Structure formats: C-alpha cells, structure tokens
Amino acid sequence: MKILVVGKHNVMNWPETVYQTLRATNDCRLFITNHFPLSACLLNKKARQENRADALAKQVAEFKPDVVLCISPFLLPLSILQACRSATSALFVGWVADVFKAIDEFKALHLDALFCTDTGFLQEAKKLCPAFYLPLCANADIFRPTERPAYQEPFFVGQANPERMRYLQHCPTPCQIYGKGWDKKLLSQHAVHNKKLSLTQAAAFIQKSLCPLNMAFSPNNVDGLNFRVFELGAARKVILTSACTDLEKCYIPGKEALAYNSPEELADWVAKITRNPSQYTAIAQAGYERTLKEHTYPQRLQQWADMIRTL
C-alpha cells in the first residue's frame, strides 16, 4: 500500500513515528507541514502556509498514494487539507487527538474518515464523516524497561494547567516536575523545572523514577488516554493515571493500571508506591505485558490498516 503521512512536527514526534512504523511494510512518504525551506523564511505566515500547501500538492501528484493519513488534521491550515484533497482521489483520513471546534466542520469536508483517540470525540466526529475509535500508543523503542533499580522521586512532565496544579499542590511527597507554566511558589514541596523534555529525556526520567505518574487533565481530553499512559506501560512502570472512561477499554483497572479520582487519592498512591515499589511489581508487569501485546505503534497501525479496508 502507498501511504502518505501528513502532519505537524512537535515534541511528541507523532507523524514521524507513524511514518517510521508504516514504512516497514508499506511504500510510505512523510510530509511535515511546519518544515519550511530557507526560501520561505522572509514570507509572512499566510504565504509560508501557501508555499507548503503547493509543495504538498506536488508531492501528492508525484507519489500517487492509495491513502493519505493526516495526523491531527484540525491543527493544520485549511489550505493544506484543500491542497491535498484537490491533488488526489486517494482515501484521505485523519487521526485526531484534539477537541473539535466550529471551524473543523469545514476542514472535515475534505476527509473521508476520522480515527479518534478519545471516545468522547466520536459523537461529534460522526456528524462530520465516518468515525472510529483508535487510541494512542507507545513508542516501545524509546520507552522500555531497565534492570537498574529506580531511585529518583516521583516524576511528572506536562504543560501546567489549573487542574494539574491543584492535584500536585495536594501531593506532599516531593516530585520532579517538568514542563511549561508551573508555579514554583504554589508547588514549593516539589522540584519544579519550567522547561520541556524530549521524548528520550522523558523516557530516562521515567526509568529512574520510583513513581512516574500521569495526569490526563487537558482541554483537548474528554474521556481518552494520552500518550503517557501507554509510555508508562511500555517502560514497565505502574500505570498511575487520572480516572477516565477509556481506561477500561485499554487496561484492567486495579490489575494492569491504577486510577485516581481526587487529589487525595493521587497523593495516597504516590506515597504508597514511592515507599514500597516492590509491592506493585505485579501491576507494573501486567501493564507492561498488555502494552506490548496491544498498545505499541505496530499493533495500533495494523488496527488502522484493518479499519481502512472496510471504508
């Protein structure tokens, strides 16, 4: 199958990892929408976007894909979607991890189907085009176990928001916190670092941490699981995450993952796991086995390929 992967580069390397996985078994190309040639540096934003749209149309016409897989299509300029649609009659589908906005109805007109990482998106997505649940997954080449004993404090990486701040404020166990926008005074019991981490840096911290944790609270999340849930599983760490509807679709709570519903529950789990991590080895192992069996990129993209054959 000839597949063109289109997406915007960010710290998660989502389009790039999809491409690297698909190319192992398909004729595959990658187009990153926010990589601009030097000749476009002096152009204004609109002109740069038009430049990339023209480049995409040329690549589509030359490659002649069977399928175009657009990662986070609603975060891309409308001109990109229009250019791609006008250049090919190939199946044009999106993999979506973001809440829909009003303008997305116009962007969705160019798509033949949407694959949603969150079941909370499906009702709205089905009003626009055929839509299916396809959760996120882990890059097991980056997030993997280590035999070295963990020794560092509990660890969280992510952008600050009021809900995440509130939960960590009520956690007395000192944690290492990375990301943008954190209030160091409000979280004085923690070591706060207002900077982003690459995927490989985050993986190294997760390996060394006694209790890496996840908080899925985000404006772009309704009922779904973010990347970190699966990454903790792939690293053979206890999957400790905020409770959500989709957790049960991917893991067995209490056996393969632990969920919390309040700041007090999070604080309690962090303290218990940090004090005696060996008590939770079985849960970490079960989550790891489930992740490798069902939630890595090769498995997820095989699910996707099986789905598109029904369209």
The CATH number assigned to the domain holding 102 equals 3.40.50.11930
Q: Is residue 148 part of a domain?
A: no
Do 212 and 256 have their domain in common?
yes
Mean pLDDT of 117-140: 94
Q: Is residue 211 part of a domain?
A: yes
pLDDT reading at 113 higher than 90: yes
Rounded-to-integer distance, Cα 158 and Cα 205, Å:
13
Q: Is residue 279 part of a domain?
A: yes
Rounded-to-integer distance, Cα 245 and Cα 123, Å:
15
Rounded-to-integer distance, Cα 290 and Cα 288, Å:
5
Q: Is residue 150 part of a domain?
A: no
If one counts every other C-beta atom within 10 angstroms of the C-beta of residue 220, the result is 16
204: left (phi over 0), alpha (psi -120 to 50) or beta: alpha
Q: Is residue 145 part of a domain?
A: no
| Whole-structure pTM value | 0.95
Do 277 and 304 have their domain in common?
no
Cβ–Cβ under 8 Å, residues 113 and 132: yes
Q: How many distinct structural domains can be found in the chain? A: 2
Band of residue 46 on the pLDDT scale cut at 50, 70, 90: confident
Do 187 and 281 have their domain in common?
yes
Do 182 and 252 have their domain in common?
yes
Do 269 and 241 have their domain in common?
yes
Task: For residue range 228-254, list pLDDT tens digits in order.
Answer: 999 999 999 999 999 999 999 999 999
Do 56 and 186 have their domain in common?
no
| Nearest of 105, 99, 94 to residue 71 by alpha carbon | 94
What confidence score (pLDDT) does residue 59 get? 94
Do 19 and 72 have their domain in common?
yes
| Nearest of 297, 296, 310, 292 to residue 22 by alpha carbon | 297
Band of residue 30 on the pLDDT scale cut at 50, 70, 90: very high
DSSP alpha helix (H) spans, the chain: 14-22, 45-63, 78-87, 104-108, 122-128, 162-169, 199-208, 227-234, 247-250, 263-275, 281-294, 297-308
What confidence score (pLDDT) does residue 108 get? 85
Rounded-to-integer distance, Cα 5 and Cα 84, Å:
11
Instruction: Give 294 or 219, the one with higher predicted confidence.
Output: 294
pLDDT reading at 40 higher than 70: no
Do 290 and 168 have their domain in common?
yes
Do 168 and 285 have their domain in common?
yes
Do 23 and 104 have their domain in common?
yes
Rounded-to-integer distance, Cα 26 and Cα 19, Å:
10
| Nearest of 225, 267, 260, 264 to residue 243 by alpha carbon | 260
What confidence score (pLDDT) does residue 163 get? 96
If one counts every other C-beta atom within 10 angstroms of the C-beta of residue 174, the result is 15
Residue 162's contacts (CB-CB under 8 Å, 6 or more residues apart) are none
Q: Is residue 195 part of a domain?
A: yes
Q: Is residue 269 part of a domain?
A: yes
| Nearest of 45, 3, 6 to residue 27 by alpha carbon | 3
In eight-state DSSP terms, residue 286 is H
The residue count of the chain comes to 311
Q: Residue type at 101?
A: K
Residue 192's contacts (CB-CB under 8 Å, 6 or more residues apart) are 177, 182, 183, 184
Do 119 and 167 have their domain in common?
no
Q: Is residue 288 part of a domain?
A: yes
Domain containing residue 212: CATH number: 3.40.50.2000
What residue numbers bound the domain in which 268 lies?
155-294
Measured CA angle at 232 (ends 141, 25), to 5 deg: 30
Do 247 and 160 have their domain in common?
yes
